[in-house]
Amino acid sequence: MIISKKTMLKVIFTCLLCILLFTSAYAEKTIKVMLYGDSLMAGYGLAQNENLASELSRSFEADNLEVSIINASISGNTSKNGLSRVEWSLGDNPEIVVICLGANDMLRGLNPALTSENLDSIISKFKKSGTVVILAGMQSSESMGPDYQAQFDGMYPKLAVKHNLIFMPFLLKDVALEKDKLQADYKHPNDKGIKIIASNLFPYLLEGIARLGK
């Protein structure tokens, strides 16, 4: 069968267009997820391949999802520290952010009302940029007293409702107070604890991806 030059050019053009569309679609599949917290998500005391970002990356790879994890968590950060660096962090253009701040505020006995205000501003800034926000809550130590505990623990669900967020009630579920899941300081998760946190967080991240419509 003889194919005309015009037909051949049309075929080549169509193939090139298909390749271009396929390449673009593949690139669009990569989703940027930012972890925005303190030492609990930064990986304090852990090897690089044992931290939360690495564990989540492995979970996404197992599910054949193209996700890039940006670990923007800094050990020792309070909610005020987190608020001060939002604009800089937005430069990474995350599509999804997991916010978990407040633990260091609690350990310093800071007023939960101020922590809530800082978190509210952080959430608002990320939402304004079009980022899907997942809020991971923390819980106060009983040693802070019942009034403080009620205020601190209660601010996370209130913020989640106010901003219509995907809400993970407690980042350290099944890890807090479990000595075999914690490092020697009994505060930070060890490699076993991180695996549990990643497993618990993963469904919320899938919900975040679903919200992106990708």
From 39, 59, 79, 116, the catalytic residue: 39
Assess contact for 52 and 83: CB atoms under 8 A.
no
- CA torsion, ordered 80, 82, 84, 90, to nearest 10 deg: -160
174 catalytic? Reply is no
Out of 4, 143, 180, 185, the active site residue is 185
Burial class (CB in 10 A: 0-12, 13-18, 19+), 122: buried
Kindly provide the residue ranges of all beta strands, DSSP E only, lying in 65-124, ordered along the sequence: 67-71, 96-100
CA distance 24 to 28: 6
- Among this protein's residues, is 188 annotated catalytic? yes
Active-site residue, 163 included: no
Give me the active site residues, please: 39, 185, 188
